[in-house]
Amino acid sequence: MPRLLQHSLLSARDLLISAGPFVLLAIGLLWLAYKVLDPAPPQKVVLATGPEQGAYAEFGKRYVTELKRFGIEVELRTTAGAAENLKLLRDTAAGIDLAFMQGGAGEAIYAIDEVDVGPPIISLGNLFFEPVWIFYREDAARRVLKAAKPARPSAAPLVAAGERRAPTDDATLAALAQLRGLRVNIGAEGSGAANLVAKLLHANRIEPAELKLAHQPPTEAVVALLSDEIDALVFVSAPESPLVRMLLQTPGIRLFNFTQAQAYARRFTFLSAVDLPRGVVDLAQDVPPRRVDLVAATSTLVARDDLHPALAQLFVQAAQRIHGETSWFGPSGQFPNANVTEHALAREADRYYRSGPPLLQRYLPFWLANLIDRMWVVLVSIIAVLIPLSRIVPPLYEFRIRSRVFRWYRQLREIEEAAGRPNAQPGTLLRELDTLDARVERVSVPLSHADELYALRSHIHLVRNRLRGVAAPAAVVAEP
């Protein structure tokens, strides 16, 4: 092996041995911090959505696509709706991590079941409006209105010549009380719609027995409505639901107009008054042909409080991309928001709504930005501990290099002391000295410590001269 390479390898070995304990301590502290903080999120989560072909199911597919970009697999769990979602979240054995929740669904459950057990629930923010869509058949509405129409007066007022009688619409329902006696589907058991409709009926002093209620899932209910098996159905869903969009454009099907929308919003804190603008569904066909007043719950994304903070951050950012655009009921930027009332807002969500995405995530890959963001406080603390400890590494390295030279001075000293004794044997001592000199010739040190090695060899030479009885060389006379 070349001499220079040998010196380099020995120096590297000494440096590694000197810094080894320090490096092991640093690695151990980092490993402990990583285990305690757990910065890496799980690679799979379960999201409870709602019935198939509903808005929750459609939005769930978008979250799958968004989170896949970061290596997170989102498993969608089909449910009956918001009420079942909340029960599943509170059941630790169900394996649900997040769920869509309809405003007011929780209040209705508590009012009926009077239980609040299971792990705490946190909110990641409001996502979108879920209007109460009441679709009814025109022929059923005409029957109701005809039955409620008072008898004609015997003498009808005359219409002046050229005067046009105001057009009348005998298929428009304007009050929930007009649903009495009709066959109405209010959603499957466990859906948020059923709980919300029960509250609305109670506010209008309508007993459930006064309606012929059905509890079919959305798809089956639409089929029943179109086949005249029921007269009306109730959806509580975002307009992204394919079933809602289809019924809005189906001839013979009307949308209930909540003329008292503002009153409902004042009575129920979880409801908002919204309007469906004329023509927003289809401008070319002018659907709807007039503005429709609606009441709407607010959908939120909720999770168990043990959800990994990195996942909470990712879902809130995904919500911004999915729900932040213009909708039928408002401009862009309206959702998502932090106006949470039923569940406490998650800390990561609150941080996002106040400050936007973390600074590092704007420039670094998610995994690296998340690692630094989660561990920077611990990293600073570890560095504060390691910096003072690191000062012992250079002296320790210096000691190891010098000890490679200085350890031979003990043997040299013993030979020199033995030479001064009366019974000294110069021949034996010279052989020991030659052996020592041969060993020292094989010692390798960095160039920065070569002077110490040459000093040792010169000292060996001096002792050798003494043993041979050779006087010190005369001083060199300077040239004139």
Q: Where do the structural domains in the chain lie, given as residue ranges? A: 392-468
The whole-model pTM stands at: 0.67
pLDDT tens, 313-332? 999 999 999 999 888 998 88
Q: Shortest CA distance to 451 belongs to which of 417, 416, 401, 407?
A: 401
Closest listed residue to residue 382, CA positions, set 21, 18, 33: 33
- Mean pLDDT estimate for the chain: 81
Given a contact cutoff of 8 angstroms between Cβ atoms, the answer to whether 138 and 254 are in contact is: yes
Q: Which of 20-34, 94-108, 403-417, 460-474 has the highest mean pLDDT?
A: 403-417
What is the pLDDT, as a whole number, of residue 161?
Answer: 45
CA atoms of 470 and 468, how far apart (whole Å): 5
Q: What is the pLDDT of residues 390-442, one digit of tens each?
A: 777 677 777 777 887 888 888 888 888 887 777 778 788 888 888 888 888 87
pLDDT grade for 99, boundaries at 50, 70 and 90: very high
The pLDDT > 90 percentage for the chain reads: 38
Sorted by sequence, the CB contacts under 8 Å of residue 15 that are 6+ apart come out as 397
Contact 342, 103 (CB under 8 A): yes
Listed as own residue / partner, the contacts of 462-468 with beta carbons closer than 8 Å and 24 or more positions apart are 463/412, 463/415, 463/416, 463/419, 463/433, 464/430, 464/433, 464/437, 466/416, 466/419, 467/419, 467/426, 467/429, 467/430, 467/433, 468/426, 468/430
Q: For tokens 């611990």, what's the residue?
A: 378
CA distances from 219 to 54, 187, 225, 257, 290 (A): 9, 10, 10, 23, 27
pLDDT at 457 over 50: yes
